[in-house]
Amino acid sequence: MLVKKKIRRQVEVVKEAVCNQCKGLCLVDEQMYGLSAEVSGDYDMVTYRFELCEKCLSELFAGFKIPPDKEGLYIGEEDR
């Protein structure tokens, strides 16, 4: 038999996500639009945390000489 008890938990939610590139909002109605990233280097052991909105992320990807691979539910035929 399982004996249960009720507990209260405090949950931390993101109130605001600001793009590090343009200072625009990345969070709309608690939905993230863009990229929230944490990147660590092997050599210098430094961790970078940043957010990019969809517009700035698209501009970053457009500047790549080799486009990044895409996968997901909402990729149109022209994106493949």
**Has residue 24 been placed in a domain?**
yes
Instruction: Tell me the pTM.
Output: 0.69
pLDDT digits (tens, 9 = 90+) for 27-71: 777 788 899 999 998 787 899 999 999 999 999 999 999 999 888
**Has residue 5 been placed in a domain?**
no
**Has residue 58 been placed in a domain?**
yes
**Has residue 38 been placed in a domain?**
yes
**Has residue 4 been placed in a domain?**
no
CB 26 within 8 A of CB 37: no
| pLDDT over 60 (residue 78) | no
| Containing structural domain, residue 34 | 15-66
Q: How many domains does the chain have?
A: 1
**Has residue 32 been placed in a domain?**
yes
pLDDT level of residue 75 (50, 70, 90 thresholds): low
- Structure tokens that stand for 24 in this block: 């625009």
